[in-house]
Structure 1
Amino acid sequence: MLRRLLATSLFAAALLGGAPASAPVQAQQPVTLNVYNWSDYIDPYAVDRFQRETGIRIRYDVYDSLETLEGKLSAGRSGYDIIVPTSEPTFSRLVRAGALRPLDRAQIPNWGNQDPALLRQVESSDPGNKFGAIYLYGTIGLGIRTDRVKELLPDVAPDSLDLLLKPENARRLARCGIAVMDSAIDVMPSVLRWLGRNPNSTEPADLRAAEDALLAIRPYVRAITASGNLMDALANGEYCMVLTYSGDVIQAQARAKEAGRGVQVGYVQPKEGAQLWFDMLAIPADAPNPEAAQRFINFLLQPDVMAGITNQVRYPNAVPAARPLVEAAVRDDPNVYPTSEALARTFTVTALAPAAERARSRGWSRFKAGR
C-alpha cells in the first residue's frame, strides 16, 4: 500500500508542477493533452518527464470500468485526446463505430518498437493495427491464497480452472471466500475454454453450457464485483480465490507482502489456456489535440518509459527492448511475463454479433441472480 500511496502523491506533484520555467518557449502558452486512463495505471515520472521534455501539459482523468469510458465517449465531445480501451469489447466497438482517429505512423517513429506477434493478436479487434498501439497486456486467471487453497484442496491440480469451476471444489473453498469479477466478456470465454469449447462460440448450446457451469458454482460465490474491488480484498485475506486479471493479482501479492500479515497470494494462469487481453492507446475521432496525442504515444513506446510503467503497475508491455530494463523480480515472474509455452496456450476474444451478445448478457444476469 505504501508503494501505491507514494505513486499517488508523486503523480499529483507531477501534475501540479507542470513544465518548469526552463522548458521550451512554447510552454508559455502550452497545449494541454487530455488523457483518460484506468486508475493506478501509469508511472507518474513518465507524465512529469513528458511535460518537461515537450512543454505540453497533461490533464489526467481516470476511470474504473469500460462502461464509464464508453459512456463518456458515447455522449460525444468528450474532450479527451488519449484513451486506453481494452481490445474487447470497447476498443473493437469504437473502431467499428468510427469513433477513433486512425494513427499516423509517420508521427510515431517508435511504432516499430512493438512486438509484431502481439500486434498480430490485436488484429482481431483492429484489422491492420490502424487505430491503436499496445499500452499494456495481461491474462485472466485465478488469484488465490496459496496456503489456504493447498490446505482445502490438496489433491487438485494447482494450475487449472478445476480449482474454481468444479462444484465440489468450489463448495470446499466457499468458507474462505470466492469472488468473480463482474465481466461476462472476461469470464464466459474462459469457462468455454475450460469446457473444451470455442471461447468465441456463438452457438446457443455452448453459451448455455457456460451459463450452466457458472450456475453450478453460484451457491459458493460470495461476491461478483468490479475487478478493482478485488485487489485489496485478496491482499487482506477476505477471499481465498478470485477470478480476475493477472496484474490485479500481482498487485495484490505486493500489497499482501507490504502488509506483513502472513497472507500468501499467488496467481494461476490456467493450463487450459488463459484469455489474453490488451489495453490500447487510442485517439478519439474528435480529439482536440491529435498531434500532441500521437507525440505522447510515441513517447510512451520508448523502451525506458515502458519499463518504468511496468515496474510501477506490474503489467507487461509490448516493447521487447524494454524487458531488460524492467526490475528482475518483475521481468522474471512468469505471471507478469508468461513463458512462451504459456503464451502459446492463450487465446483472444472477438466481438460477438448483437444477438449472441444479448444471449451472453442474459446468461450472465442469470448467473449473478443465481437462477
Structure 2
Amino acid sequence: MRRHRSYLNLGMGACLSAWIAAAAADSPSVHVYNWYDYIGPTTLKDFKRDTGIMPIYDTFDSAEILESKLLTGGSGYDVVVASNFSLPTLIKAGVLEPLDPAKLPNLKHIDPELLAKLASNDPGNRYAVPYMWGTNGIGYNVDKVRAALGEQAPVDSWDLLFKEENLARLSQCGVALLDSPSEILPIVLQYLGLPPNSNNPDDYQKAEALLLKLRPHIAYFNSSKFITDLSNGDICVAVGWAGGMLDAKANAVQAGNGVRIEYSLPKEGAPLWFDTLVLLKQAPHPAQGLAFIDYLMRPEVIAPITDYLRYPNGNRSATPLVSAETRNNPAVYPSAETMARLFTLEPLPKKTERIRTRVWSKVKSGQ
C-alpha cells in the first residue's frame, strides 16, 4: 500500500537528512526502512534524545521495492515497516526474525483485537506488531453526489459505484479508482458475495464482467491523482485510502473552495490493512532494532504520529492521548460494528496473481 500524504514535506526531509548526517558519528545506531513521510516530524530526534541510539533512516514508496530489496538479501536494515499482505512472503522466505516479547515491554499496549486480525497474515503474531492501520473506502463530494443521485444517495454502500445506473449518473462529475488490482478486485469480489481473497478463476471472471460493464463510466485509475482532484472538485467520487480522503477534505477546507468531502466505509465490508514493524533476521543491530520497535509502542510516542499522519495506530493505550478530533472521527477510528465487517488482504498464489493481473489489464483497457 502506498502511504503518502497529498503534499511532500520536503523541508522536514531536508532538515532530517542534515541532522542525521551531523549526528551519526560515533553513536550506536539502528537502520530503519519506512514508507516516505510516514513518521512524526520529531520522532527520530526524540528517539535519539531518549535512548542515545542514532536512527539511520531510509524511505521507499512501493511495496514492490521493499519486497525486492529484502528478498535479495543484505539490505543492511534492522527495522522495516512492512504491509500486512507482504508478511507471508517475507516469513516464508526466512527474511524476518521472530520478536522476543520479553524484550518488548510496551507490547502490552497493543490492541489484542487488531493482533487477532493481523494473525491472518502473521500466524501467532510472531514476527510483526502493528504500526499504523487503515481502511479503503469511498471518498465523495457531498453536494455533487446529492445533485446526481438525490438526498438518498447510497453513500454507505458499494451500490453507489457498482450499480451501473448510479455510476452512469456519477460519471458526469467524475469517478476514480485506485490503480491497484490487489485492492480493488477483493472489494468487487466481496460485493458479489464471493471470498475477497479467492483462488477460484471463475470468481475473477464474475468480477471482470461487472467491472467491464462499469468501465465506460470510470474516469481513470490512479493511486495519487484522486486526492487533489477530489479536493478541487474535479471528480466527485473516488475509491482509496482513508488517509488520502482525509487529506483531500483538509485541503479543500484550507483552500476555502466550498468543496465538502466525506469518507464512507460501505456496509457490505471493506479492506482493512496494517503497516507493521518487523525485525530482519540479518539485522546488523538487533538490540537497537528491538529498542526502536519498543519505543514506537510507547503511547506518548505513537499518539502524535497518528495526529500527524491521520492514520490510527495499533496501540490501545495511546487512544486517549490522540487528539479528540482524530480519535472521534469514525473515518479514522471505525466503530466496533464497522470493524466486524472489515477484511484483510492476503497474498495469492502466483497462478491466481497472473489471473488477477490479466483481469485488471482488460478492465483498464475496457476490452
TM-score of the pair, normalised by structure 1: 0.91
Q: Which residue does 1:216 correspond to in 2?
A: 213
Whether contact under 8 Å (1:11, 1:45) holds in the other structure is no
Tell me the CA shift for residue 107 of structure 1: 1.7
Shift of 1:18: 4.7
Q: Deviations over 1:126-174 (max 9, x none)?
A: 1111111100111111111111111111143121111111222222122
Contact 2:80 2:278 in 1 (8 A): yes
For these two proteins, the number of residue pairs brought into alignment is 362
Provide the C-alpha distance between the structure 1 equivalents of 2:113 and 2:291, rounded to a whole number of angstroms: 24
- Secondary structure, counterpart of 1:140 in structure 2: strand
Equivalent residue of 1:333, what SS? coil
User: Could you say which residue in structure 2 is the equivalent of 1:308?
Assistant: 304
Does the CA-based 8 Å contact 2:145-2:153 persist in structure 1? no
2:119 pairs with 1:117:
no
**8 Å contact kept, 2:306–2:312:** yes
Query: Counterpart of 2:32 in structure 1: which amino acid?
Result: V
Cα drift, residue 6 of structure 1: 9.8
Distance 1:362 1:4 in 2: 30
Q: CA 1:369–1:7 in 2, change beyond 3 Å: closer, same or farther?
A: closer
Alignment partners' CA distance in 2, 1:367 and 1:142: 20
Does residue 146 of structure 1 match 2:142?
Answer: yes
After superposition, the Cα gap between the structure-2 partners of 1:229 and 1:38, relative to the gap in structure 1 and judged at 3 Å, is farther
The runs of 5 or more residues in structure 2 that have no matched partner are: none
Match of 1:246 among 224, 242, 265: 242
Distance 1:31 1:134 in 2: 25
Which of these residues, 72, 85, 91, is aligned with residue 87 of structure 2? 91
Match for residue 255 of structure 1?
251
Secondary structure of the residue aligned to 1:191 is helix
Per-residue CA distance 1:64-106 (angstroms, 9 max, x = gap)? 2211222222332222222212111x22211121111221222
Task: Pick from 250, 265, 268 the counterpart of residue 264 of structure 2.
Answer: 268
- The Cα shift of 1:300 comes to 0.3
Matches within 5 A, 1:108-257: 108-154=104-150, 155-226=152-223, 228-257=224-253
Which residue number corresponds to residue 16 of structure 1? 18
Report the residue type matching 2:253 in the other structure: K
Matched, 1:335 2:331: yes
* Residue 62 (1) aligns with residue 59 (2): yes
Does 2:52 correspond to 1:51?
no
Q: Per the alignment, do residues 222 and 57 of structure 1 end up closer, same or farther by CA in structure 2, a change over 3 Å counting?
A: same
The answer on 1:322 being equivalent to 2:318 is: yes
CA distance in 2, matches of 1:18, 1:354: 40
Q: Secondary structure at the match of 1:29?
A: coil
Structure-2 separation of matches of 1:31 and 1:99: 23
CA displacement, residues 192-224 of structure 1 (integer Å, 9 cap, x when unaligned): 111122212222221111121221211122221
Deviation at 1:10, TM superposition (A): 4.1
Unpaired segments ≥5 residues, structure 1: 22-26
Amino acid of the structure 2 residue aligned with 1:268: S
SS of residue matched to 1:98? coil
* Aligned-residue offset at 1:14: 4.3
Cα distance in structure 2, aligned partners of 1:256 and 1:119 = 35
RMSD across aligned positions (CA)? 2.1
Question: The residue matched to 2:270 in structure 1 has which SS?
Answer: coil
Task: Report the TM-score, using the length of structure 2 for normalisation.
Answer: 0.92
Amino acid at match of 2:190: R
TM superposition shift of 1:289: 1.9
| Aligned sequence identity (%) | 43
Give the match for residue 24 of structure 1.
Answer: none
